[in-house]
Chain A
Amino acid sequence: MTYEVIIVGAGASGTFAAMQLRGKKVLVVDVGNTPSAGAAALQGNLYDLRRAREEMHDELIGEAYESLHNISHEYLSPKLKAPLLRYVVDETAALSPIVSDGFYTVTSHARGGMANAWGAGVFPFTDRELKGFPITASDLAPYYRALTEHIGISGTTDDLAADFPDNGALQPPLALSRIGTDLLSRYEQRRSAVQRRGIRIGRSRLAVLTREHHGRAACEYDNLEFFKPHIPAVYNPAYTLDELVRDGQIDYRPRSLALSYEEREDGVALRVRDLTTQTEHTVTAKKIVIAAGTLNSSRLVLRSRNDLSARLPLLDNKISYVPFLQPWLIGGALEEKSFATAQLSVVYERDPAPLFSTFYGLTGPLRSDYLLKFPLTLRDNIAAAKYLSPAMAIVQVFYPDVPHPENHVSLNAGGALQIAYGRQEAELIERELIRAFLRLGYFSHPSLCQFPTAGNSFHYAGTLPMQREPGPYQTHASGRLSDTRHVYIADGAALTWLPSKNLTFTLMANAMRVADHVRKDLGG
């Protein structure tokens, strides 16, 4: 069967390219791992469950002790090491090998991609963040608006309005935890002093429902965000993909790994391995949209050209974690009803674009995940975690990234991606944050800041960047790969540079924009 479009990958980008191309004859090729059957059984409030069940070993620790990953391996975020969320990264080492020295890589073969474990932060790019791109914010605006309606986004208009352009009606913001409420009220009382330091604080825009939306229930504040996949209130591209499949608007072929494509006169032939039968076959289409995630899309392009010499640029948001303590909240009672991830966004103004960070409370993760960081004995650390957790918060800072000759991706003879990442953005704002938060009664110290290995943000981008006049291994503004007629790049690989904002929402919007170009090139 010949399709009009083949889409490789069903993460945030592939799903929204598929949605925008519905009505065309579309095939989505995807490995498509899904949560285990046991995940659906995790129902209720985390703390009610912990009090009710003799042991929550399978859900919190895991049959293979997945949750203990960080004891003896390189740091992995609490979500990705949670036993019921491990499907997000299953099979990646075997199916998508990556060799790197000092660069931590996490890719996904899950249906819905890495957005199965995202923080749900919604960050539209403004013209400041799109400087250097061959597109502007107005090119993305209609897609941001469509996404806002489709996904359901909660938030409000506050001091961050300039950073979050109006893209349509928002749901009311999520209820803040005690520490989030405390920080925001202190900020509102000392706004001028904090803003003089270049810092603004406001509610995060989140793809989390506070009201029922398109059949999905509102957030129930069950503190399960670190342990349970597919919480209805938290948007996941797999929801949209499932709708498209259920309504017969696309063909979806899971357990399929795209190996390489060949461009022909009238279209593209994609070689695919069926992971169930371990056989290979070819599917053809007039156009192909590659949205397998930045690294896997790069592998597919390089392998299709059998190019072992090309070095593609690689971008990644360097991150840091700054812990804060609010002494007046020490010894507070646990908040059983809370949303466990992002609470507030913190913006540090600078040129050419602001730096974004996210303020988290600690109601969600296991105490064991961080109690080793305290300086007391382990026995006393357990007590410290108990009494300090209500008073502690983490600010996760994202740094922007631009292409640099030392940071690149290539393909080796064995088919593995080889990553070199020798240079990170040097600018550090942790001290500024600590000084500004001190004015709000929040204490920290630079020595407590954590800087995970490069790659830990999982925001990989820029390997096949869109340019006004693209050269080899670059894409046109339409998403079409240079030197091709039928090949389009619709994921993070096409970003020209990486602003400080979480990129997922923009990947969705850009994939829809690229899909519209594909539709146009197909003749409407």
Chain B
Amino acid sequence: MSTLAEEGRYLARFLFAAPLAEAVIDHYVAAHVHLFTGAITRPVDVAKIVERRLDAEAVELVLRRRDPMNALSQKMQILVYVAEARRELYPLFVSEHARPFTAFVRLAWGVVRAAYKLVKGRYLLSAHRDL
């Protein structure tokens, strides 16, 4: 069984290229106290995703298409929100210079990647029906 902090660190690997500051992980843990009290969620066994080292990004994409309020999407979104308030991740969210060519290439790559992750996520969910 992973702790929330380990879970946060594991999920963050699928969102950000570099490891997150521990302050972000602390916020991730603290946010659970406020957000998962009687909230509308589709239960997902995130602990099993972490234990089995599954591709959380792929699984999340498939789950989100079925139900945007599923627990895995919610947890990964916490990380995104908390990270957006950090200075070192500011360039990840905000385009400071005009780069239309880079933007089109990155978006095209994102579409190809999403297609691959969608297939992979479907496979993982069919192989791990107990999630």
Interface residues of A (CB under 8 A from B): 47, 50-57, 59-61, 64-65, 67-68, 71-74, 330-334, 366-368, 371-372, 375-390
B82 within 8 A of A: yes
Residues of chain B lying within 8 A (CB to CB) of residue A47: 94
B76 within 8 A of A: yes
Q: Which of A331, A334, A372, A377 contacts B113 (CB 8 A)?
A: A377
Contact (Cβ within 8 A) B98 A367: no
Contact (Cβ within 8 A) A372 B114: no
B7 within 8 A of A: no
B2 within 8 A of A: no
Residues of chain A lying within 8 A (CB to CB) of residue B78: 65, 68, 71
Nearest-CB distance from A390 to chain B (Å)? 7
> Can you spell out 14 A-B residue pairs with CB atoms less than 8 angstroms apart?
A50-B85, A54-B87, A65-B30, A330-B107, A331-B100, A332-B100, A367-B84, A376-B110, A377-B110, A379-B15, A381-B110, A382-B15, A383-B106, A383-B107
Contact (Cβ within 8 A) B40 A379: no
Main secondary structure of the interface of A (DSSP, over half): helix
Residues of chain B lying within 8 A (CB to CB) of residue A60: 84-85
Residues of chain A lying within 8 A (CB to CB) of residue B103: 330-331, 387-388
Query: B14-44: which residues lie under 8 A (CB-CB) from chain A?
Result: 14-16, 23, 27, 30-31, 34-36, 39-41
State the 6 A-B residue pairs at the shortest beta-carbon distance, nearest first: A331-B103, A72-B39, A380-B110, A331-B100, A387-B103, A376-B114
Q: How far is the CA of A64 from the CA of B86 in the complex (A)?
A: 17
Q: How far is the CA of A52 from the CA of B86 in the complex (A)?
A: 10
Q: Please judge, given known A-B contacts A61-B27, A72-B35, A368-B80, whether A386 and B100 are in contact too, CB under 8 Å.
A: no
Q: How far is the CA of A331 from the CA of B94 in the complex (A)?
A: 10
Q: Please judge, given known A-B contacts A55-B23, A332-B98, A375-B114, whether A64 and B84 are in contact too, CB under 8 Å.
A: no
B96 within 8 A of A: yes
Contact (Cβ within 8 A) A333 B97: yes
Contact (Cβ within 8 A) B117 A56: no
Nearest-CB distance from B21 to chain A (Å)? 9
Nearest-CB distance from A522 to chain B (Å)? 50
Q: Please judge, given known A-B contacts A331-B98, A367-B93, A378-B60, whether A56 and B85 are in contact too, CB under 8 Å.
A: yes
Most B Cβ at <10 Å: residue of A47, A68, A330, A333: A68
Residues of chain A lying within 8 A (CB to CB) of residue B80: 368, 371, 378, 382
Residues of chain B lying within 8 A (CB to CB) of residue A366: 81, 84
Nearest-CB distance from A14 to chain B (Å)? 33
